[in-house]
Structure 1
Amino acid sequence: MDWDYYTLLKTSVAIIIVFVVAKLITSSKSKKKTSVVPLPPVLKAWPPFIGSLIRFMKGPIVLLREEYPKLGSVFTVKLLHKNITFLIGPEVSSHFFNAYESELSQKEIYKFNVPTFGPGVVFDVDYPVRMEQFRFFSSALKVNKLRGYVDQMTKETELY
């Protein structure tokens, strides 16, 4: 069989086109269908950068009560260089407790609790250790067990 230059070129182009089309078809089928969730609304405050901080320092509860009807159950407040997103109500707050560590870092949020539990406990450890610790003491924090602690707590409170 005698292959001339143009026949070889046509065959090569046809093979390349087949591979490109096949790649496009397989890549479009393998793409995950992900929904884009919009970011929560952000509190607009005047003056910029410090307006939210001023309102927050005057009273966070007042700020939340005023903005909840306007912005809804999930909204963000910019405090200087930090964004704080509030989840108000049981229908949205469950996300806080059930979110993956990659989505929402409880360790970062609960740093202020380290003195409560002590170093190396709960929120002062990495995620796998924290989950192990949660499994360890979760039975002690069930409602029926907590009811059993009331008398002891009352005694300790009265002694204090």
Structure 2
Amino acid sequence: MAARPLIFYPDPRLDVPSDPVTAFDADLGDLARDVTETLDSAAAAGLTAAHLGVRRRLVVLRPEPGGPAMVYVNPEIVDRSPERVTAREGSVSMPGVSEPVERAATIRVRFQDLDGVEQEEAAEGFRAACLQHEIDQLDGIFWIARLSRLRRERAVKRFAKLRAQP
């Protein structure tokens, strides 16, 4: 398996919700390895199968460079704190653009591992922001949808300018 090509904004596949994973088999393991290798080659903190154009609910997170990668299958946020934090976010599907995004400070996520075993995890800080960002992507919510209309329009224009450069 190997790193796969990413899809880029405004590809309409980024706005389509991913399908739940129902088969916990070798193909899922291969997909997880491909997503992990693509995450590493893109030097990202998190990546979904959706970023590769694959509509399956799979996230790989490696928030600390060189740290272990964690695979989340069918993740869902089951609890979020009322406290909010704002941090800069961007996407491998819109490289070179980032904006402040407000999210819950802490969350609890329910997911399955590659064997289909249910797990729960509490997350805070950067890890919580990464999980919320990637789960949004699985739900067909590209990160700029969390911006005000004006900031979203500016981000899209900046990205178009970056893409037009030779």
Q: TM-score, normalised by structure 2?
A: 0.26
More helix by share: 1
Larger-Rg structure: 1
Which structure is richer in relative contact order (CA contacts within 8 A, separation 6 or more)?
2
More strand by share: 2
